[in-house]
Amino acid sequence: MDKKAHLITTKKIEQLIFLIHGQKVMLSTHLADLYGVESRTLVQAVKRNIERFPEDFIFQLTDKEFDNLKSQIVISSWGGMRRARPYAFTEQGVAMLSSVLRSERAVQVNIEIMRAFVRLRQMLSTHKDLERKLIALEKKYDEQFKVVFDAIRALMAPAQKPKRKIGFEVKEPKARYGKKVGKKQ
């Protein structure tokens, strides 16, 4: 087995899963990197087997979606100017890639990608279950527990970064007004 395939962790893959069109997807450029092939090679393999990839498995990003995505990703990993917009693969599309790309590395990478999708689904499910249970408890108990439920909801909410002050602050000694010090009349 390829040693680099071992270095690909589920957490690293989770960072490459984006929400586009309301679906969790991975981009062809990132998948090509993970599989150790050129992006155009991956796309060619898909086009040769296009009957395996219906519209709900793969779609190409629009110019606007691509621009928005590039602005969200601070470090440019797009390799300079691109002639074509990347393709987005849904979970089913990524699974289908394993039947098109048959290298040992592709198999190992696909296993890790499937684990990442499952883990994300479990995390969302757990969060929804907790939310459902909290709503049921709120209905059951009266207003005296409202403070407790509000505190729990605050803990469940995603952390918000504190806003940084813009500009700079100059620290200098305070000016003295009134009596003149050191001068005799």
Q: How far is 185 from 178, CA to CA, in rounded Å?
A: 15
**pLDDT for position 48:** 92
Residue entry with tokens 């586009």: 20
Q: What is the number of alpha carbons within 13 Å of residue 97 lying toward its C-beta?
A: 33
E strands, 63-112, are 87-90
Helices 91-100, 104-140: axis angle to 10 degrees equals 160
Over the stretch 121-146, which tens digit does the pLDDT of each residue have?
A: 777 777 777 777 777 766 666 666 66
- pTM score over 0.75: no
Q: How far is 59 from 7, CA to CA, in rounded Å?
A: 28
pLDDT band at 98 (very low <50, low <70, confident <90, very high): confident
Give the structural domain span for 150: 124-156
Residue 172 lies in a domain: no
Token digits of residue 141: 């108990």
Task: Give yes or no: residues 12 and 59 share one domain.
Answer: yes
pLDDT above 70 as % of the chain = 74
**pLDDT for position 83:** 63
Over the stretch 144-182, which tens digit does the pLDDT of each residue have?
A: 666 667 777 777 776 666 677 777 777 777 777 766 655
Residue 48 lies in a domain: yes
Task: Give yes or no: residues 67 and 145 share one domain.
Answer: no
Q: How far is 36 from 39, CA to CA, in rounded Å?
A: 9
Residue 183 lies in a domain: no
